Chains A and B, each alone.
Chain A
Amino acid sequence: MTTAPSLDITASADTRVLEATTPSSAYLDVPASKPLRLDSQRQLASYRIAYQTYGTLNGAKSNAILVAHALTGDQYVASRHPVTNKPGWWETMVGPGKPIDTDRFFVICPNVLGGCMGSTGPASINPETGKPWGLDFPVITIGDMVEAQVPLIDHLGIDQLFCVIGGSMGGMQTLAWAARHGDRVATAVPVATAAWHSSQNIAFHEVGRQAVMADPNWCGGRYLELGKEPRNGLAVARMAAHITYLSEEALHRKFGRNLQEISAKSFSFNADFQVESYLRHQGSTFVDRFDANSYLYITRAIDYFDLAAEHGDVLANAFKGTKTRFCVVSFTSDWLYPTRESREIVHALNAVAANVSFVEVESDKGHDAFLLDEPELFATIRGFLNAAATKRGLKAAGKG
């Protein structure tokens, strides 16, 4: 293998590179007999989808919930991460007795196509060259991510998912699932998301990509072959992006203008302020677990997402005749995917008389609120899922 770690690469990056090619989670290898035709018109001859499951699939295979992860998430939604050793990214939401109750539901969380935790992406080996794909990997879309998950659902023998749920980019996948495979999605819960990526959000993504590509260690995307890592570039990209996940209020509450472990300004460019130190920490821990090229590809997929444009510029057309029951959730202080963008989704669903609930959760924590302890969010998801599950005839947890 050409991905053998060199001395330039840190120990955790070593594990990370291994996870990209030989995941410790379950995975499905989709054979060349079922190639994936991408929105770019290119084709992936064969590909791998790494995934985690939680809970038990019932006999009727009617209790499956697909959790779609966000930009920098992965399949470890409710279990320890093999690279960081940190708990799952949505353990407050998914688990026994949690709103997405694994005593009642069977939860599937796939790593997206283009990701770096075992699903095929730019850090995987290109079978034609025996080297990491790098920038030879085709540009993918949110729709492609969804299409790549379909064989996994088939493989698990599931005709119809009880629910597809996800926040941010996970919400986009949720919408794409409902629009493309509505008959296979009984309920859909898009959280803190939008039906298209705004100009401002594309702008932020471009800043992040330029930071990665400006790092000399990026080497035109061939850093894995060359045993290098664009750590600084990716860290800066993460720092810039992280600001967009918070709110001014949350930053002020958490850090104010407080200084970091010093009593006076140092009159230098050290991280004097707590907020600087916090961002640097966010940047450096991120690069330990994420592949820089994956970051480029996935942000691009989000930029390209526009469900209305795919349907003659009328978003409602994406959901014509839908039988899926929707629960749209937004947060008051989310300026990355503000409430008005969720409202656009709700209006489109109303226009086709779809069954839709819409909740705006009051929170000052910005976009990140969907990952945090938000009792109103939990109550909403729990109530919506349980009511829909009862209607579907799924027995309550702990009964029989």
Chain B
Amino acid sequence: MLAPSIQQTSRVDHLLIAKMVAHGSRVLDVGCGDGALLQLLADTKDVDGRGIEVSRERVNACVARGLSVVQGDADRDLFDYPDDAFDYAILSLTIQATHQPKAVLEQLLRIGRNAIVSFPNFGHWQVRGRLLLTGRMPVTENLPEAWYVSPNAHLCTIKDFADLCKVVDARVEQAVAFNAWGRQLGTWLPLTVHNMMGEKAVFMLTRRGPA
């Protein structure tokens, strides 16, 4: 897995995740980058936070600022953690860069009582437009790299991700999409509209318990 380098100028997804997370809970942020979300959660929610990050420079920067972060890889290093080790296992704009998104999502649901996943929506109208009009892999503000240098190996649409949730038997507790201006789309809108207008999406999931 390469370090995803999606533009993270807009932190609306972080603010939403901070709203979802309960005060004082245990959080694992997989692909925590420079630690901005962990810092936000520590500052506003007093969480017991841990991070995993693939880039050594970013890990060292996180630890130097006092965050508990290990150098590691979502595809390889989630297996170590025991079941229910965290209240929330967060994968923020990282799942599209993993080798095995399904296995990673299953691991998140195993080690976290809740899994929070955010990802860029490949069903966004701009993406569809570029592909339709130019006949080439879309390069947008949200997905700024050409296909041959992009770390994103498994891009998906909101509908695709909702399908994966069914495959891994996860219950969608909350699903939110943001448009290109960082505005949250009304939850009353049908899924098809979210899939067209949402540039990023945030899903909060739980395991379906045994019936």
Contacts and interface: CB of A to CB of B under 8 A. Distances in A.
A357 B71 CA distance: 8
Given A346-B70, A350-B70, A360-B71, A355 B64 contact: no
A383 B64 contact: yes
Contacts of A347: 77, 80
Interface bin, chain B: 20 to 34
A86 B70 CA distance: 36
Contacts of B48: 355
B63 A351 contact: no
A232 interface: no
Nearest to A383: B64
A388 B67 CA distance: 10
Contact of B70 (A356, A379, A390): A356
B60 interface: yes
Interface residues of A, number: 27
A249 interface: no
A358 interface: yes
A386 B66 contact: yes
Contacts, number: 67
B64 A380 contact: yes
B60 A359 contact: yes
A352 interface: yes
Contact of B63 (A352, A362, A380): A380
A392 B80 CA distance: 28
Contact of A352 (B59, B66, B82): B82
Interface string B58-96: 011011111111111000010011100110000000000
Nearest to A347: B80
B128 interface: no
B81 A387 contact: no
B50 interface: yes
Interface string B97-111: 000000000000000
A328 B62 CA distance: 14
Contacts of A361: 60
A245 interface: no
A358 B56 contact: no
30 contacts: A327-B63, A328-B70, A347-B80, A350-B77, A351-B81, A352-B82, A353-B26, A353-B85, A355-B68, A356-B70, A357-B62, A357-B63, A357-B67, A357-B69, A357-B70, A358-B70, A358-B71, A359-B63, A360-B71, A361-B60, A380-B60, A380-B64, A382-B64, A383-B64, A384-B63, A384-B66, A386-B66, A387-B67, A388-B66, A390-B66
